[in-house]
Structure 1
Amino acid sequence: MDMDHAAALVRLTRYYESLSLQNIGSLGEFYTPNAYFRNPFNEVRTSAEMAHIFRRLLMHIDVPRIEITATILQSNQAFLVWNFRCRLKRWHEDELTIRGASHLRLSNDGRVAYQRDYWDVAEELYEKLPMLGRLMRWLKRRMC
């Protein structure tokens, strides 16, 4: 295990666990300028675009919390398992929990050069929204 990458991964997980609108400007300390990022809704190729996505997300939610539940590091690649908890400002009064994982590739300086987030949009988000949730649950029952 590369100690520089291990230390960088610890710093990154601490950053994520404290992510807020107030510290989103620090994203460049943890990601290369041309970092690739993809999740079920977005695909961008710079850390500036990534910061814009995170900023927009944080403006639409209350009480965001990211809990890293497991990390695996092998050479310059890492896998994070996480729970993202929040309240949606307009749609959902209860706390929403999205469970997912991220595959990371770290650059030589320990910053993230590649991140792909994996999570089930239907189960973790759509089923929990008021009107869309009923439809998604009905579809799920019909298909299974």
Structure 2
Amino acid sequence: MDNSATHQSLDTQGGYPGWLNNFVEVYQQLSTDNLDLLERIYHSDVLFEDPMHKVHGYQNLNQYFAALYSNLSACTFRINEVIPGDEQAAIYWQMQFAHPKLNGGDPVSVDGHSHIKQAQGKVIYHRDYLDVGAMLYEHIPVVGRIIKAIKQRAGQ
């Protein structure tokens, strides 16, 4: 898997507000080697939350992404669905990434969604919802087997 962006056919000109078009377009291009694109879409006072972290301010968000991406050999997003609004939106996506210490370095795919809100034409609030177990824990050798066994047992 390379660091090139994954483009997909979601029509971002389908009547979305400009801030939302920008967000979707950037995330469909985003990869490990072009994190500078984030400045186009995030407000300087952005609040970003995911299941593992909460960061406030664009500079902190940029540092957070840089640290995350520095350990990855690849990371791309495919936007599957957008539920648009003038001031906020829901984005459903699939992230595919490769990390040398997870899943034997092979790509891992994780489905998730984001709730975003805008101010002054940029995203000021971004919260990601995803299964951290599917993203990380299931791909760590010993821990992964335990997590999968627990999930299997819970499903009985």
Q: TM-score normalised by the shorter chain: which range applies?
A: 0.7 to 0.9
The gaps in structure 2 that reach 5 residues or longer are 1-13
Q: Partners in 2 of 1:72 and 1:63 — Cα distance?
A: 27
The alignment's C-alpha RMSD in Å is 1.9
Deviations 1:90-137 (A, max 9, x none): 232221001100000011x32000011001112343223322110101
The gaps in structure 1 that reach 5 residues or longer are none
Which residue of structure 2 aligns with residue 120 of structure 1? 131
Query: 1:20 Cα deviation (Å)?
Result: 3.0
Which residue of structure 2 aligns with residue 48 of structure 1? 59
Aligned AA for 2:61?
A: M
Query: 1:4 Cα deviation (Å)?
Result: 9.4
* Superposition misfits of 4+ residues, deviation over 6 angstroms: none
Which residue of structure 2 aligns with residue 143 of structure 1? 154
2:116 maps to which of 100, 104, 107 = 104
Query: 1:37 Cα deviation (Å)?
Result: 0.4
Q: Partners in 1 of 2:55 and 2:139 — Cα distance?
A: 27
TM-score of the superposition, structure 1-length normalised? 0.88
Match status 1:95 vs 2:79: no
Query: 1:14 Cα deviation (Å)?
Result: 1.5
TM-score of the superposition, structure 2-length normalised? 0.81
Number of aligned residue pairs: give it.
Answer: 141
Q: Partners in 2 of 1:102 and 1:113 — Cα distance?
A: 13
